[in-house]
Amino acid sequence: MVKIIVGVMGPGSNALKKDLNNAYEIGKFIASKNWVTLTGGRNEGVMNEALKGAKENNGLTLGILPSDDKITFSPYLDIPVCTNMRSGRNYLNVLSSNIIVVCGIDHGTSSEISLAIKPNKKIILIGLYEEANKYFEKLAPNLIYVVEDYLEAIEILKKELN
Protein backbone atom coordinates (compact mmCIF):
# COMPACT_ATOMS: atom_id res chain seq x y z
CA MET A 1 0.00 0.00 0.00
CA VAL A 2 2.80 2.34 0.97
CA LYS A 3 4.15 4.17 -2.05
CA ILE A 4 7.76 4.23 -3.18
CA ILE A 5 9.28 7.66 -2.65
CA VAL A 6 12.25 8.85 -4.69
CA GLY A 7 14.10 11.92 -3.44
CA VAL A 8 15.60 14.26 -6.01
CA MET A 9 18.18 16.63 -4.57
CA GLY A 10 20.30 19.42 -6.00
CA PRO A 11 20.94 23.15 -5.94
CA GLY A 12 18.08 25.63 -5.56
CA SER A 13 19.65 28.72 -6.99
CA ASN A 14 22.69 28.38 -9.26
CA ALA A 15 21.68 25.00 -10.65
CA LEU A 16 23.27 24.29 -14.02
CA LYS A 17 21.10 23.77 -17.07
CA LYS A 18 22.14 20.13 -17.36
CA ASP A 19 21.24 19.53 -13.69
CA LEU A 20 17.80 21.02 -14.26
CA ASN A 21 17.31 18.86 -17.31
CA ASN A 22 18.37 15.72 -15.43
CA ALA A 23 15.98 16.61 -12.60
CA TYR A 24 13.09 17.06 -15.04
CA GLU A 25 13.74 13.72 -16.72
CA ILE A 26 14.08 11.88 -13.42
CA GLY A 27 10.80 13.38 -12.19
CA LYS A 28 9.15 12.30 -15.44
CA PHE A 29 10.47 8.75 -15.03
CA ILE A 30 9.36 8.54 -11.39
CA ALA A 31 5.86 9.59 -12.46
CA SER A 32 5.82 6.90 -15.15
CA LYS A 33 6.32 4.26 -12.46
CA ASN A 34 3.62 5.71 -10.17
CA TRP A 35 6.19 6.47 -7.53
CA VAL A 36 6.20 9.70 -5.50
CA THR A 37 8.70 12.45 -6.30
CA LEU A 38 10.06 14.06 -3.12
CA THR A 39 12.11 17.25 -3.10
CA GLY A 40 12.82 20.20 -0.82
CA GLY A 41 9.65 21.70 -2.30
CA ARG A 42 10.66 25.26 -3.16
CA ASN A 43 9.98 26.99 -6.47
CA GLU A 44 13.62 27.00 -7.50
CA GLY A 45 16.27 24.97 -9.24
CA VAL A 46 16.46 21.20 -9.10
CA MET A 47 13.65 20.96 -6.51
CA ASN A 48 11.21 22.70 -8.76
CA GLU A 49 12.30 21.02 -11.99
CA ALA A 50 11.97 17.48 -10.64
CA LEU A 51 8.47 18.29 -9.39
CA LYS A 52 7.64 19.82 -12.77
CA GLY A 53 8.82 16.72 -14.61
CA ALA A 54 6.69 14.54 -12.35
CA LYS A 55 3.62 16.76 -12.40
CA GLU A 56 3.55 17.29 -16.17
CA ASN A 57 3.48 13.52 -16.45
CA ASN A 58 0.71 12.93 -13.92
CA GLY A 59 2.95 11.98 -11.03
CA LEU A 60 2.33 12.62 -7.34
CA THR A 61 4.65 15.24 -5.85
CA LEU A 62 5.73 15.80 -2.25
CA GLY A 63 7.83 18.65 -0.87
CA ILE A 64 9.37 18.93 2.58
CA LEU A 65 9.66 22.66 2.96
CA PRO A 66 12.01 24.75 5.10
CA SER A 67 9.25 27.26 5.89
CA ASP A 68 5.48 27.60 5.74
CA ASP A 69 5.64 30.67 3.51
CA LYS A 70 3.41 29.77 0.56
CA ILE A 71 5.22 32.18 -1.75
CA THR A 72 8.21 29.83 -1.70
CA PHE A 73 6.23 26.70 -2.64
CA SER A 74 6.77 25.11 -6.03
CA PRO A 75 3.65 25.39 -8.22
CA TYR A 76 4.15 21.71 -9.12
CA LEU A 77 3.60 20.52 -5.57
CA ASP A 78 0.70 18.27 -4.60
CA ILE A 79 1.59 17.79 -0.96
CA PRO A 80 3.53 20.45 0.93
CA VAL A 81 4.89 19.27 4.29
CA CYS A 82 5.91 22.35 6.26
CA THR A 83 8.64 22.13 8.87
CA ASN A 84 9.77 25.68 9.73
CA MET A 85 13.16 24.03 10.33
CA ARG A 86 15.19 25.76 7.62
CA SER A 87 18.13 23.49 6.68
CA GLY A 88 17.13 21.12 9.47
CA ARG A 89 14.59 19.68 7.07
CA ASN A 90 17.36 18.27 4.88
CA TYR A 91 17.56 15.26 7.18
CA LEU A 92 13.84 14.61 6.75
CA ASN A 93 14.19 14.76 2.96
CA VAL A 94 16.57 11.83 2.85
CA LEU A 95 15.03 9.88 5.72
CA SER A 96 11.68 9.88 3.90
CA SER A 97 13.11 8.75 0.55
CA ASN A 98 13.62 5.13 -0.47
CA ILE A 99 16.51 6.21 -2.68
CA ILE A 100 18.09 9.52 -3.60
CA VAL A 101 19.03 10.98 -6.97
CA VAL A 102 21.44 13.91 -6.92
CA CYS A 103 21.51 16.46 -9.78
CA GLY A 104 24.35 18.88 -9.09
CA ILE A 105 26.00 19.88 -5.84
CA ASP A 106 25.91 22.72 -3.35
CA HIS A 107 26.19 22.86 0.44
CA GLY A 108 22.57 21.85 1.05
CA THR A 109 22.83 18.91 -1.31
CA SER A 110 26.13 17.97 0.29
CA SER A 111 24.42 17.79 3.68
CA GLU A 112 21.67 15.62 2.21
CA ILE A 113 24.11 13.12 0.71
CA SER A 114 26.01 13.02 4.01
CA LEU A 115 22.84 12.56 6.11
CA ALA A 116 21.57 9.77 3.84
CA ILE A 117 24.51 7.54 4.70
CA LYS A 118 23.62 6.60 8.29
CA PRO A 119 20.07 5.48 7.40
CA ASN A 120 21.71 3.45 4.65
CA LYS A 121 20.06 5.00 1.60
CA LYS A 122 21.40 4.38 -1.89
CA ILE A 123 22.49 7.62 -3.57
CA ILE A 124 22.83 8.15 -7.31
CA LEU A 125 25.09 11.06 -8.27
CA ILE A 126 24.49 12.21 -11.84
CA GLY A 127 27.55 13.78 -13.40
CA LEU A 128 28.83 15.52 -10.32
CA TYR A 129 32.20 17.19 -10.44
CA GLU A 130 35.31 15.15 -9.86
CA GLU A 131 36.09 16.22 -6.27
CA ALA A 132 32.60 15.37 -5.05
CA ASN A 133 32.60 11.98 -6.72
CA LYS A 134 35.93 10.99 -5.24
CA TYR A 135 34.96 12.31 -1.82
CA PHE A 136 31.60 10.59 -1.53
CA GLU A 137 32.81 7.33 -3.06
CA LYS A 138 35.44 7.20 -0.35
CA LEU A 139 32.97 8.22 2.38
CA ALA A 140 30.32 5.61 1.50
CA PRO A 141 31.59 3.16 -1.11
CA ASN A 142 28.66 0.78 -0.65
CA LEU A 143 25.93 3.37 -1.14
CA ILE A 144 27.13 5.72 -3.86
CA TYR A 145 26.55 5.28 -7.59
CA VAL A 146 28.23 7.78 -9.90
CA VAL A 147 26.61 7.97 -13.33
CA GLU A 148 26.98 10.12 -16.44
CA ASP A 149 23.42 11.12 -17.18
CA TYR A 150 19.76 10.60 -16.32
CA LEU A 151 19.47 7.54 -18.55
CA GLU A 152 22.03 5.69 -16.47
CA ALA A 153 20.35 6.89 -13.28
CA ILE A 154 17.05 5.47 -14.51
CA GLU A 155 18.65 2.07 -15.07
CA ILE A 156 19.81 2.06 -11.45
CA LEU A 157 16.41 3.16 -10.16
CA LYS A 158 14.85 0.27 -12.08
CA LYS A 159 17.32 -2.17 -10.63
CA GLU A 160 17.14 -0.92 -7.04
CA LEU A 161 13.37 -0.41 -6.79
CA ASN A 162 11.94 -3.36 -8.69
Number of CB atoms found within 10 A of residue 86's CB? 9
Q: At closest approach, how far in Å is the CB of 56 from a second copy?
A: 11
Q: Which of 56, 58, 84, 159 binds a second copy (CB under 8 A)?
A: 84
Q: State yes or no: residue 108 binds a second copy (CB under 8 A).
A: yes
Using the contact rule CB under 8 A, the part of the chain among 13-21, 25-33, 61-69, 149-157 near a second copy is 61-69
Q: At closest approach, how far in Å is the CB of 151 from a second copy?
A: 26
Q: Which of 16, 85, 156, 161 binds a second copy (CB under 8 A)?
A: 85
Q: State yes or no: residue 96 binds a second copy (CB under 8 A).
A: yes
Q: State yes or no: residue 82 binds a second copy (CB under 8 A).
A: yes
- Diameter of the chain measured on Cα atoms: 40
Which residues of the shown chain bind a second copy in the complex (CB under 8 A)? 1-3, 5, 36, 55, 62, 64, 68, 73, 75-88, 90-92, 95-96, 105-108, 110-111, 114-115, 117-119, 129, 131-132, 134-135, 138-140
